[in-house]
Amino acid sequence: MTSRSPRDTPLRLVPRRPLTAARRAATTRRSRPARPPEGTPSVPELARLARAELADAVRLARWAGSGPGAAGTTGILPPQAVAKAAAALGVTPGQVRADWDRARLTGLIELHGGTARPGWRLRAWDDDDTAVLRGWVALFDAWSLAHPFLPGGGDGPDPALVAEVIEAVPQLLSFMHLSSGPVALDTLLDLLRQRVAELRTERHEPPAAGDPLPALLDWALEAGTLVGALCPRDPLRPDEVSLTALGSWAVWVKLEQICVAAQGPAGHMEQSAATMLRACARLSPSQARAEYRAWLAARPVGLAVAELLDTARGDDALLRGLAFEALRVVGDPAEAAVREVVGEPGLRPYAVLWLAELGGGDPDAATELLTREEATWLWIDTAAAVADHGEDHLLVSHLETAVQGSVPGLLEEVRGVGHPRTVQVLVALAAAHPDPALAKAMRRAAFQVHTGEA
């Protein structure tokens, strides 16, 4: 029996969903989070409190976005810009500097080449309660930067001790949250002394000279009040401190993240992104999502997103796809970083689809946002992942997801895309495909790409 010519061999045209399905076996939407403690305000109410807390920073960010917004290469407003903002907004220069720091820490302002521009969070500020709360949590996490320690005189305490106090503060806040009410300053000071002593023992450091911890505790509590996590001291009970509704909710969120991290199914939360993703390739979709959440909860979100994108830039196509699956679990906080890689050819197709899905678009229809060349590049990249980590029948089935209507059409466009794995993919397809004519055409195309023939 002779093999037929591949000239008119059609590919079974199917909806574009299989291309999406080939990139991921199941969607990776977050499961419903655990409910916060009874008495916690609703998300809209918490967002209202956060908007009130950051109203001045939002006002300054909008001013910076409508004006020249020159911030300098360091991100610090020069004196002339401070004076201009103070005059325009009717506030003091000191208030401008404080609001500027808040706007940067919350993502309301982004710096591009020394120029301040409105951040994605500012654009979503009036409509997206979740974006507002995440912005406030970013400020909450950066309390020591929003209100840095400035000793009143002399040399001040050892900078290492200040860092240890910063490291100990989450434990104090957790204690306050679990206490469900005001906590005495003496109790917090005792906890701080105990935690700092433990840290110094672990690091083989001598005890701190003098008694700087009361002053450092006052600084930390003042900073917590300034960012809206702690209630102002009651003049009638000045020796007690309590969390605000926002502060209590934020601590609960952090505790939940710790619990999720402790439940990582594969135990890779302390490994690199590449190691974690490689392990997730062997897990079911639900297990992989749990592992992503555990890995993300164990590190600052900005660093996690950067590491995932660096991994996606590597040579392993499977890890590239899985990195964007993990970024889907991150959600909104990863948007700015993903937008920045849209211009990178190797990541652009993934980034475009990721952003479309983040905006609520249908993942099947989102592929229409890609050019023909980009869709073909993504098809090859997915085929490379299947060839490296999958089985032959999956690679053959992947042919059906191509946007071209025939094998010759597919091979012609594949040759022109310039994907670095084109030759290997075509050779793997030729070896796996049961049709001799198709296999021969693929081998010929692979040879032409390898030798640079048109």
Domain 43-145 classification at class level = mainly alpha
| 324-339 pLDDT, tens digit each | 999 998 888 899 999 9
Q: Whole-angstrom Cα distance, residue 60 to residue 122?
A: 11
- Look over the chain and give the mean of its residue pLDDT values, rounded to a whole number: 80
pLDDT, tens digit, 9 for 90 and up, residues 128-170: 888 899 889 889 988 888 888 877 655 667 788 888 999 899 9
Q: What pLDDT digit, counting tens, does each position of 340-380 carry?
A: 999 888 899 999 999 988 877 666 666 777 888 888 888 88
The CATH number that domain 154-252 falls under is: 1.10.10
Residue pair 174/250 in contact by the 8 Å Cβ criterion: no
Pairing relation of β-strands 115-118 and 183-184? unpaired
Q: Assign 368 to helix, strand or coil.
A: helix
Among candidate residues 231, 254, 226, 243, the one with its CA nearest the CA of residue 179: 243
pTM metric for this prediction: 0.56
Lowest-confidence segment of 101-110, 184-193, 260-269, 423-432 by average pLDDT:
260-269
Chain segment 10-58, per-residue pLDDT in tens: 443 233 334 444 444 322 333 344 677 888 899 999 999 999 999 999 9
Question: What are the pLDDT digits (tens) for 247-256?
Answer: 999 998 888 7
What count of residues does the chain have? Answer: 454
The pLDDT, as a whole number, for residue 307 is 94
3-state secondary structure 45-111: HHHHHHHHHCHHHHHHHHHHHHCCCECCCCCCCCHHHHHHHHHHHCCCHHHHHHHHHHHHHCCCEEE
Residue type for 5, please? S
Res 113: pLDDT = 62
pLDDT score, position 452: 67
Q: What is the pLDDT of residues 46-92, one digit of tens each?
A: 999 999 999 999 999 888 876 545 555 556 778 888 898 899 999 99
